[in-house]
Homo-oligomer: A and B are copies of this chain.
Amino acid sequence: MAHYKLILAYDGTQYHGFQRQANRQTIQAVFEEALRKIGWQGRAVMPSGRTDSGVHALGQVVSFNFDWNHPDETLRAALNAFLPADISVRQVAQAHPGFHPRYDALSRTYRYQLYQAQSRDPLVDRYAWRLSQEPDVERMNQAAALLMGEHDFRGFGKALREDGTTIRRIEQAEWHRDGDLLVFYITGNAFLYHMVRRIVHVLVLVGQGKQDLEIVKRGLETGSTGIVDLAPARGLTLTRVRYPEDE
């Protein structure tokens, strides 16, 4: 029985997030169904973390035990043959037996995409948040810079367990322009529930001049920004999870 580590990509538009739920289409359910079709009899695969309903991934990592007596490349091809067009296995590798995609992760990187337009661009809108008012990138980057380092982020998200710590370490948080898109990359050791989407919403308010940089400082110092809105899921993609063995 080998332990496999797979990199999954998916378009989350049609799914109720990663994690299996009764009577709901989820990435996990569809992926496990494909695994079962090629003979897997396990109970559940383990992800690096959940993604919310509508959130996409280019670098979700899952692991599972499987008695597959063929090359890794064949496992990828077999799974992709059974997966729908919006889920894809990008890489297959064997991991050491103790590998755990969530506990072993050193960091996660998310991407968030925005565009400004008076009407939807249907070829962009699936993977980006449309704003009617253009935000100022420099102001957004000034606000983002305040997030760098170790902080208590309870003003920007919730711990999944009630007694969980809300301290996280951010090592990258930067916007850049890519054609018509504004693209944000944020990397941290881990993220609270809804944290990236709440951060993006606050940064956009700052970029549009509707809030000052102060709101970010206040959020970090007092544990509340007063803003409860989230940036839409459609713009968010889990792009990479980094492990010690990747170094």
What residues on B are CB-neighbors of A119 within 8 Å? 76, 80, 88-90
What residues on B are CB-neighbors of A11 within 8 Å? 122-123, 126
CA distance A46 to B211 in the complex (A): 46
Copies held by the complex: 2
Chain B residue at minimal CB-CB distance from A8: B122
Contact residues on A (Cβ < 8 Å of other chain), bracket: 20 to 34
Most buried by B among A10, A56, A123: A123
- Decide yes or no whether A120 CB sits under 8 A from chain B: yes
Within 8 A of B (CB), among A105-139: 117-123, 125-127
Chain B residue at minimal CB-CB distance from A90: B119
What residues on B are CB-neighbors of A80 within 8 Å? 119-120
Q: Could you tell me the distance in whole angstroms from the C-beta of A234 to the nearest C-beta in chain B?
A: 10
What residues on B are CB-neighbors of A120 within 8 Å? 9, 80, 85, 88
- Decide yes or no whether A150 CB sits under 8 A from chain B: no
CA distance A179 to B238 in the complex (A): 19
Which 9 pairs, one residue from A and one from B, show the smallest C-beta to C-beta distance? A88-B120, A11-B122, A86-B122, A88-B119, A88-B122, A9-B122, A80-B119, A10-B122, A90-B119
Interface residues of A (CB under 8 A from B): 9-11, 56, 58, 76, 80, 85-90, 117-123, 125-127, 237
